[in-house]
Amino acid sequence: MDLIWEGLRKALELLLRLDPEVLGITLLSLKVSGLATLLSVVLGLGLAVTVALNDFPGKRLVIALMNTGMGLPPVVVGLFVTVLLWRNGPFGFLGILYTPAAIILAQSIIATPIIAGLGLAALQHLPPGLRLQILALGATRTQLVWLLLKEARLPLLAAIMAGFGGVISEVGASIMVGGNLKGSTRVLTTATVMETSRGNFDVAFALSFLLLVLAFSVNALLTHLQQRSRRP
Amino acid sequence: MSREVLLQARNLLVRRGGLQVLEVPALDLRAGEVLALMGPNGAGKTTLMLTLAGLLPPTGGELIFRQTSPRSREQQDALRRRMTMVFQDPLLLDATVAQNIATGLQLRGVRAAERQPQVEHWARRLGLGGLLDRSAHHLSGGEAQRTALARAFVLQPEVLFLDEPFSALDARSREGLIEDLGHILADTGTTTVLSTHDQSEAAQLAHRLAVMKEGRIVQLGGLREVMNHPEDPFVAAFVGMETLLKGQVVTCGEGLISVRLGKGAMDREVLAMGEAQPGQTVLVGVRPEHVALSLQTDNATSVRNAFPGAVTKVIPQGPFFKVELDCGFFLSAYVTGQSLSELGLQPGRRVVASFKATSVHLIRREGLDPQL
């Protein structure tokens, strides 16, 4: 028990002191996972809308692949992205391995299927006649998509939260493609792993606490967006 | 009615999954008319309306709106915006009543200040004045469908499509809404296509009636024309001509036809108006609202057909009661609650059923199934 109390005390101290290194790691986590989520929202919702509004051969297969993708293990994504970005790999010329860009790429690959899969389920859950009704009211194709997304906003924001939650908390891909380089690619999860393995439980606690605060804040913001439109 | 033709369909064809679900060689919709579509589920009523409304691209054929046929995607979208549709399910958006009614105007870029008076006008018109700020999730079925109708009328559509708009409502909300809709349609003169299963809905709202079967229009004409003179047994059954009896023309002269009903009917004869060939097989149709019931035969009457019989069944039907009789053949009649009690109508009661020769409709068709 002493270990826990000591850790919490140290964590509080680090936070109150606004330790520049800890602050930097926290902001990088927020930036990397935030951008990855944003990218996944664009790609994932685009995919969800395309699949939801169109009938094409092999649609069920595509949906099955999207749903399978929701469970992609981060270490597997990490491995593939590492190989692809490796100096001799097909995208080695980009030179982004062990940079934040590589982490954003890997995390987008993790979050996109989550947002696409849950987003598609959200859109397919709308009443089947709604699309025709909105068109009958005179909507253009763009207006139709916008109104459908708006109508499904509750489950869609839940999908975005699931996507963000998936990437802010993953460690496998970040460590493999980012390398946990101090001051460059060290994020909250990779730093926690490192400090724990070194036996610095107090610092690990501080970092974990920050991770929880970060996840909570972002989700609180999204929940606010989600719930403010609910009327009594 | 010789009004301008607003919307025309030519050689309309819709195939789905290799099956032909709609084939309408020609249909003209006249400005200001209310056309009712009747037919069983799967007859193609919804498909026809979706196609006419520009919401379902047909496999073949064309739509002509005010003499022009939209060709490009832009023209088709522009035409779609001049019409609108209300479905059986109100399909309201997750927003307030006012926001729902305003949706179509908003999609057309009408500014909020201009939208508001129109939204309020149509909300009042449909009895939603006090509900403007209510969430669409907290409406009764009737209020939700009224919101859907206000959302359509606020667009002042040139053609309004109503796909079984009352089917999901309870009897009381339905009656009130049909009455209000009737007034609005009469006031605005909105050209309307209405699909329904209910002949009384069609009778209250429509000028013309089309009966559909298996993707085709089997009969189209004035409301009374189709209801009183169905061309075949299918249409007759669908528009509520419940008594349909096989018979053979015995004599014909001076515009009066005598038809002998089949052996099951103990060779009784029915008189009808018109011309026919003696020996011809016909179907004798009588609408239940044209059959009068009394306790004895009145000798001095202009009614040509009177048959004694016994009541077999009394079925309440809204404001009326349907009385089924065995007069040696099946006959059904509508009576009011007052008549029901005054005549003491109940199963087993002996009565005389009578109807005028002018109320008898004969279906004469080549190849009429003699076993029918």
**Mean pLDDT of all residues in chain B?**
91
Domain hosting residue A120, numbered range:
2-227
Question: Which of B29-38, B148-157, B188-197, B292-301 comes out lowest in average pLDDT?
Answer: B292-301
Q: What integer is the mean pLDDT of B220-247? A: 91
Measure the CA–CA gap between A161 and A111, rounded to whole angstroms.
10
In a domain, A20, yes or no: yes
Residue A41 resides in a domain: yes
**Greater pLDDT, B340 or A15:** B340
**Residue B351 three-state SS:** strand
Q: Is position A175 within any domain?
A: yes
pLDDT tens, N- to C-terminus, chain A (232 residues): 777 787 778 778 887 888 888 889 999 999 999 999 999 999 999 999 999 999 999 999 999 999 999 999 999 999 999 999 999 999 999 999 999 999 999 999 999 999 999 999 999 999 999 999 999 999 999 999 999 999 999 999 999 999 999 999 999 999 999 999 999 999 999 999 999 999 888 888 889 988 998 999 999 998 898 887 654 4
Residue B300 confidence (pLDDT) above 70: no
Alpha helices in B126-162, H assignment, sequence order: 141-153
> Is residue A67 included in any domain, yes or no?
yes
Report CA Rg, chain A: 20
CA distance B126 to chain A (A): 18
Put simply, the answer to whether B94 touches A140 (Cβ < 8 Å) is no
Quickly state the pLDDT bin for B367 (edges 50, 70, 90): low
Determine the distance in angstroms separating the CA of B93 from the nearest CA of chain A, rounded to an integer: 7
pLDDT band at B372 (very low <50, low <70, confident <90, very high): very low
Give the C-alpha separation, B238 to B218, whole Å.
11
**Mean pLDDT, range B59-64, rounded to an integer:** 94
pLDDT 10s digits, B105-164 = 999 999 999 999 999 999 999 999 999 999 999 999 999 999 999 999 999 999 999 999
Mutate to test the interface with B, among A123, A125, A133 (most CBs of B within 10 A): A133
H or E stretch including B55? Answer: none
- The answer as to whether A232 is a domain residue is no
Q: What is the spatial distance between Cα B265 and Cα B65, in angstroms, rounded to a whole number?
A: 52
B267: pLDDT strictly greater than 90: no
Q: Considering its fold, how many domains does chain A have in total?
A: 1
pLDDT computed for residue A232 by the predictor: 44
Tell me how far apart the alpha carbons of residues A98 and B336 are, in angstroms, rounded to a whole number: 88
A53 to chain B, minimum CA–CA distance in Å? 14
- What pLDDT, on a 0 to 100 scale, did the predictor assign at position B368? 54
Cα dist. B240→A195, A206, B234, B285, B363 in Å? Answer: 84, 80, 10, 10, 15
Nearest by CB: A140 against B50, B77, B93: B77
Give the residue-averaged pLDDT of B204-215.
96
Q: Rounded to 5 degrees, what are φ and ψ at B166?
A: -110, -5
The CATH number linked to A59 is 1.10.3720.10
Whole-number percent of chain B with pLDDT over 90: 72
Per-residue pLDDT, B371: 46
With respect to residue A214, please indicate whether it lies within any of the assigned structural domains: yes
- Residue B151 is nearest to which of A137, A140, A143, comparing CB atoms? A137
Beta strands in chain B (DSSP E): 5-16, 19-30, 34-38, 60-65, 83-86, 159-163, 191-196, 208-213, 216-222, 243-253, 256-261, 269-273, 281-286, 292-294, 305-317, 320-326, 330-336, 350-355, 361-363
Q: A184 in a domain, yes or no?
A: yes
Averaged pLDDT, B252-280: 85
Q: Measured between CB atoms, does A133 come within 8 Å of chain B?
A: yes
CA B214, B217, B222, B225 torsion-angle sign: negative
**Residue B299's pLDDT band (boundaries 50, 70, 90)?**
low
- B49 contact residues in A (CB cutoff 8 A): none
Domains of chain B: 5-230 (3.40.50.300), 241-363 (2.40.50.100)
Question: Which pLDDT score is estimated for B225?
Answer: 93
Asked whether A128 and A190 are in contact (CB, 8 A), the reply is no
Question: What local confidence, expressed as pLDDT, does residue B264 receive?
Answer: 67
- What would the mean pLDDT of B227-238 be, rounded to a whole number? 91
B93 touches chain A (CB under 8 A): yes
pLDDT at B1: 47
